[in-house]
Structure formats: C-alpha cells, structure tokens
C-alpha cells in the first residue's frame, strides 16, 4: 500500500472493482467508473431515499448477510451512516473497535480480514490511513466477499463523492451547465480527488479548484480542472461551492501562516458567497471548522445543504452495499 501522489495509485489493475460482467463487485474508487455506472448508483440511491422517508425504514436486501465496519481513522458521518445503511438493509453489523483489536498486538490488516472472513463476513467497509488499503484487500479476499472503501489515505472517498453528486444532481440537474468550485485543502483531500473524478465523468461544465499554492497539488489542471489561487475569482458565478477543511493531521511543516489569515483569504463568508450565483448551494463533507474555512452563518444559512448531504449518505451507502452484494460471485454451495 503506497501513496503515489495526487494522481492515483501506482500499478493498480484496471477496474479491480468490477466483476467479469463489468458490474460493481467492490467500491474502491470513482476513477474507472463510467457515466452510466455512476448514474445507475444515483438512481438506486433515489429509491433508497424514499425508503428512508418511510416510518419503517427497513428492507431485506442484505438479510442474512454480515457487514463488518473497520475504521482505522476517526469518523462520525461515514461510520454511522454505513452502520445505519447496513441495518436498514437488514444486515447483521459488526463494528470492530480497532483500538481494542489484536492489530494492537501486531496482527496485520490482512490477517484481521481473513479471520473475520472465516466468521462468514460478507462485506468489509474499510477506512484506513494508507492510500490503496481497500484495493489491496479487494485483491486478497474470497470472491464472494465485497470491499467498500470508506476513505483511504489521501487517495479516495468514493461514497462521499457519490452523495455529493446526488446532492448536486437533485438541486441543479444537468451537470453540463454547471460551474462547481471546490475550495480549500485540495492537496490533502481524498474528497476533492473523488469529487473531481465524479464531476469529470458526469461532464460538468467547469470544475474549479481554489486554494493557496501550498495546498494545491502540482499539475492539478491535468485532472481537468481550472486552478484559482484567489477565492473571489474562484467562486464568482459558481453554481455549487464545495468547502473543505484544512487537514492538519496530514500536514508536515508549515503549509499556512495562521488560521485567521486563512479565513481572511479563503473562508466562505456571507459577503463572499454573494459572488457566486444567487441560487448557489454550499456543500461541505464535514467535519467543518467554523471560523476557519466557513462562517457559521453560511454553514447554517439558507444556501447550505450540508446536513442534507449527511442524510443522503445513508441512501447512497444502502445503494452501494445492495449493488455490490448482488454482483459478487456466488459462494460455492449457496446462493449469492
Ligand atoms: N465526510 C466524512 O468522511 O466525515 P467523517 O470523517 O466524519 O466520516
């Protein structure tokens, strides 16, 4: 498992997340998915949104299946919405407490997974600090087991990108006519990377990334985006503004002079938001640092869809888990 910079994982096989029929068996990355595959996931998500609005929020798609959540990095939204999604699909759910697991005694990630697989787990939802962790596991689990990437290092956060795309599609419709600005710590953000891939695949009119030079990946425009170092220019006439937090846990050394100066130059304030289109939506994957990248009145304001993103996360994760389970290989002697 190695990080190969912002461009992706070195040496990964083409579409390791697809089965022999080209269907999603794991969800590892947005890169490599087609326009129709993303739209199919968003369409299935819409059906689960309806289920989540009912008084009884339960369907049987994963009845009899076991889902294990393994989070080696902190999480509030992703971990809990994956758990809720699995339970609403009627799965049995194991939330592994990594800090009290035998990884603290030196057991490797792969050995841990193989032992859980021996307990007949059908799916692993994995967040890990190493870029490529989910790809690595997908290459080593049994054919009837699915891996879902809940964030790997600086590489990818595919379900976040899918819930972001669902939210944009719902509010704004056709991506071709949209200008989407992603603002903040682009360099360290797996969300930015997955969002950029998804927006490109969905043929977004203009994708902008806005950051100080120290937080902009080198050669970022090769990803099909326009780079802006001035916030006011970067969000002018945008339809969608996606704010990102400063990922200080991934910064070694001084990337910024101070949080106050960062907020002055790149914080989304009510005054600055007026530069975007009047009906622009404001998004943030969370956790948000109020007063650092976003003003409270904007985070809680009428253009914010931040909490709606969280709600949508449940339906997106239900859609992904339901789809990968249908597409995995049958376990010998059983149904799929
Ligand atoms: N958006 C997101 O990944 O949030 P958590 O780190 O709380 O899961």
Dist. CA 173 → ligand 1 center (Å): 25
Which of these, 123, 143, 147, 124, lies nearest to 135 by C-alpha position?
A: 147
Atom of ligand 1 nearest to the CA of 74: 6
Distance CA 203, CA 155 (A): 21
Q: Is 329 helix (H, G, I), strand (E, B) or coil?
A: coil
Distance, C-alpha 320 to centroid of its chain = 12
Which of 286, 288, 313, 317 for mutating ligand 1's site (highest number of atoms within 8 Å of CB)?
A: 286
Q: What is the dihedral of CA 12, 13, 15, 20, to 10 degrees?
A: -150
Looking at residue 13, its pLDDT comes to 52
286 CB less than 6 Å from ligand 1?
yes
Q: Which two tokens stand for residue 271?
A: 């005054």
Dist. CA 257 → ligand 1 center (Å): 26
Output phi, psi for 250, to 5 deg.
-100, 0
Looking at residue 256, its pLDDT comes to 74
Report which protein residue has its CA nearest ligand 1's atom 5.
75
Q: Which two tokens stand for residue 82?
A: 């994956």
* Cβ contact 180:208 at 8 Å: yes
Q: Judging by DSSP bridges, how do beta strands 92-96 and 226-228 pair with one another?
A: unpaired
77 CB less than 6 Å from ligand 1?
yes
78 CB less than 6 Å from ligand 1?
yes
Q: Which two tokens stand for residue 226?
A: 């326009």
Atom of ligand 1 nearest to the CA of 160: 1
Residue 9 half-sphere exposure toward CB, CA atoms < 13 A: 27
Dist. CA 161 → ligand 1 center (Å): 12
Quick one: angle between helices 158-172 and 190-201, nearest 10? 50
Q: What is the dihedral of CA 274, 157, 323, 204, to 10 degrees?
A: 40
Distance CA 185, CA 212 (A): 8
* Cβ contact 332:54 at 8 Å: no
* Cβ contact 124:141 at 8 Å: yes
Looking at residue 139, its pLDDT comes to 94
Residue 324 host element (H or E): helix 306-327
Distance, C-alpha 60 to centroid of its chain = 25
Residues noted as catalytic: 77-78, 105, 127, 157
Dist. CA 76 → ligand 1 center (Å): 6
117 CB less than 6 Å from ligand 1?
no
Q: Taking phi first (over 0 means left), then psi (-120 to 50 degrees means alpha), and beta for anything else, what does residue 173 get?
A: left
Looking at residue 2, its pLDDT comes to 39
313 CB less than 6 Å from ligand 1?
no
Beta-sheet strand order (sheet of 179-183)? 226-228, 206-210, 179-183, 240-243, 281-283
Which of these, 103, 182, 159, 186, lies nearest to 310 by C-alpha position?
A: 159
> pLDDT digit of tens for each residue in the chain (336 aa)?
433 345 555 444 568 999 989 999 999 999 999 999 999 999 999 999 999 999 999 999 999 999 999 999 999 999 999 999 999 999 999 999 999 999 999 999 999 999 999 999 999 999 999 999 999 999 999 999 999 999 999 999 999 999 999 999 999 999 999 999 999 999 999 999 999 999 999 999 999 999 999 999 999 999 999 999 999 999 999 999 999 999 877 776 667 778 999 999 999 999 999 999 999 999 999 999 999 999 999 999 999 999 999 999 999 999 999 999 999 877 765 554
Task: Return the DSSP state at 33.
Answer: -
CA 104-128-6 angle, 5° bins: 140
234 CB less than 6 Å from ligand 1?
no
Dist. CA 162 → ligand 1 center (Å): 14
* Cβ contact 325:122 at 8 Å: yes
């Amino acid at each position: 498992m190695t990080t190969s910079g912002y461009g992706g994982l070195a040496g990964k096989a083409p579409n390791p997340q697809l089965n022999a029929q080209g269907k999603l068996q794991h969800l590892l990355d947005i890169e490599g998915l087609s326009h129709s595959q993303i739209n199919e996931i968003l369409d299935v998500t819409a059906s689960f949104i309806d289920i989540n609005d009912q008084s009884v929020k339960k369907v049987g798609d994963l009845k009899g299946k076991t889902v294990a959540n393994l989070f080696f990095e902190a999480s509030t939204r992703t971990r809990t919405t994956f758990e809720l999604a699995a339970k609403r699909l009627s799965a049995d759910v194991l939330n592994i407490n990594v800090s009290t697991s035998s990884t603290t005694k030196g057991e490797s990630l792969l050995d841990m997974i193989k032992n859980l697989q021996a307990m007949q787990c059908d799916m692993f939802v994995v967040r890990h600090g190493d870029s490529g962790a989910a790809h690595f596991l997908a290459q080593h689990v049994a054919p009837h087991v699915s891996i879902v990437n809940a964030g790997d290092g600086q590489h990818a956060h595919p379900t976040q990108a899918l819930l972001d795309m669902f939210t944009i599609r719902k509010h704004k419709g056709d991506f071709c006519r949209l200008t989407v600005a992603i603002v903040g710590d682009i360099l360290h953000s797996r969300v930015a990377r997955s969002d950029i891939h998804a927006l490109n695949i969905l043929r977004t009119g203009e994708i902008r990334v806005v950051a100080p030079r120290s937080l902009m990946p080198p050669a970022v425009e090769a990803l099909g985006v326009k780079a802006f170092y001035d916030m006011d220019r970067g969000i002018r006439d945008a339809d969608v503004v996606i704010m990102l937090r400063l990922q200080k846990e991934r910064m070694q050394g001084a990337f910024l002079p101070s949080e106050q100066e960062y907020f002055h130059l790149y914080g989304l304030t009510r005054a600055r938001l007026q530069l975007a289109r009047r009906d622009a939506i404001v998004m943030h994957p969370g956790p948000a640092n109020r007063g650092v990248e976003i003003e409270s009145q904007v985070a809680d304001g009428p253009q914010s869809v931040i909490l709606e993103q969280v709600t949508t996360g449940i339906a997106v994760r239900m859609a992904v888990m339901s789809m990968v389970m249908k597409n995995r290989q049958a376990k010998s002697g059983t149904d799929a």
